[in-house]
Structures are given as C-alpha cells and as structure tokens.
Amino acid sequence: MKWLLWFLLFFNVALLAYFNVASQPEVELQIAETPLNPEKIRLLSPEEIEALPKREPATVAENSQVPQYGCYEWGTFSRAKLASAQNYLTRHALEVKVVQRSAEEATRYWVYIPRAGSVQAAQARMDELRALGVTDMVVVQDQQSANVISLGVFKDEQLATKLLEDLKSKGVSTAVKGVRNQEQGRSSLYISNMSSELVSELEGLQPEFPGSELKLVNCQ
C-alpha cells in the first residue's frame, strides 16, 4: 500500500507541474527589419561633401587661468635699488642673474609731471589727467622723485617725444621729458622661468622703481 501512496503523490505533483508550465504565455521575440530602398541611396559629390557642416576642434578657453612662463629682464637699477629688487625676487625663489649695464645702455627717456607738494596733491593731479583721457600713469614713491607722476619710460627717445606730443594735444601742459639712469654702475636682473602672475606683480612695483622697465627676452 505504501508504494501505491507514493505513486499517487508523485503523480499529483507531476500533473500540477505540467499544468503550471502549460499555462505560462509564450514570448516570441520579433525583430522588425526595415527594408532598404536602393533607389534612395546615392553618392555625394566632392562639392556636397565639402558643404557638409564641419565639427570644430576643441580649443583652449581664452580666459584660462593656467600661468604662462618666460624669461624677463628687469632694470636698470642703481646699486641701492638693485638690492631691494633682488630681495623681492628672492622671496619667490626665482633664478636671477645680475647683468651690468653701461651708462649708454642704462639711459632712459622719461615723460612725467614734476613733483607735487604731497601725495594728496599728486592724486588730485592724476584725477585731472584722467579727465583729459590719460590712463597710464603712476605716482613715484622713490625718495629722490617722490610724488612725481610718471607717464612713461622709454629707451628710444623718439617714443618719449611722441608721447609728450600726444599729451600736449590732450591739453596736458605740465608734462615734461627728461633723462634718467645716466650714472655709472647700473645693473639689470635677468629672470628665468617667471610666471605671468608674477609679471603683473612686478609691473605693480613701478612706483618703487621709477625709470625701470620689465621686458620679455629670449631665454638663455
């Protein structure tokens, strides 16, 4: 009897499994093929290919903040000012070489407004100059030329003369041209691998080093 009981139990389980499988819906995967239309296919001419929109290559953003590096010459300086300039560059761990300059090489032509009685008076004069359209100027902080308004320093005298004429045409009657750095023993500083960010800082030191200029040179 036991074998009959086990047989009936097995038969019922098999029958139940059969009906469960048979009741599941059949899933058919149908792949729709899009028929090609050969009559609509044609080759493009070279002119048509050339007229197709072109994808422009990616360019570096104009306002990129990546600093650029280069070699510069800064000067010329008297012996006293040379030490101050070197100390400033030393704080930035730059590679600097001192270059001696002759009096002829060091001579610069300076366009300026003569010394004012005080810093406040110099600032008032600068406001007047701005009203006349003058924008490039600094108040000199050097002890020998304190409160002088520097309008430009040039190696070429003709450029200084042209600036003076332009200023006169704007109504700046007090501007004059003079010669700087004629004394012996002047030097320049050759600076290797200086970033553009530091260049901006050095240009801001013009009031402390009147008559000096910072220019980009070939790296040695």
CA distances to 74, 181, 183, 187 from 101, rounded to whole Å, are 12, 10, 10, 5
Q: Which CATH number goes with the domain that contains 206? A: 3.30.70.2030
In a domain, 146, yes or no: yes
CA 142 to chain centre: 30
CA-based torsion, 17, 18, 19, 21: positive or negative: positive
Q: Which amino acid is at 135?
A: T
Do residues 96 and 113 share a domain?
A: no
Do residues 112 and 163 share a domain?
A: yes
In a domain, 217, yes or no: yes
Do residues 119 and 85 share a domain?
A: no
Structure tokens given for 50: 């050339």
pLDDT value, residue 61: 47
Neighbours of 37 (CB within 10 A): 7
Q: Which residues contact 108 (CB under 8 A, 6 or more apart)?
A: 76, 153, 154, 155, 179, 180, 181, 211, 213
Give start and end residues of each alpha helix (H) in 24-156: 46-51, 79-90, 103-106, 119-131
Do residues 171 and 207 share a domain?
A: no
pLDDT value, residue 157: 86
- Kindly list the averaged pLDDT for each block of 10 residues, start to end, along the chain of length 220: 57 57 48 58 65 59 61 84 85 84 75 87 91 88 79 86 92 87 74 86 80 82
pLDDT value, residue 27: 44
Q: Which amino acid is at 21?
A: V
- β-strands 138-139, 149-154 pairing: antiparallel
In a domain, 165, yes or no: yes
pLDDT value, residue 12: 61
SS3 content of the chain, % helix, strand, coil (to 5): 40, 25, 40
Do residues 98 and 196 share a domain?
A: yes
In a domain, 35, yes or no: no
In a domain, 201, yes or no: yes
Do residues 174 and 192 share a domain?
A: no
Q: How many domains does the chain have?
A: 2
Q: Which CATH number goes with the domain that contains 171? A: 3.30.70
Task: State how far the Cα of 178 lies from the Cα of 78, in Å rounded to an integer.
Answer: 17
Q: Which domain holds residue 157?
A: 108-180
Do residues 141 and 202 share a domain?
A: no
Do residues 171 and 193 share a domain?
A: no
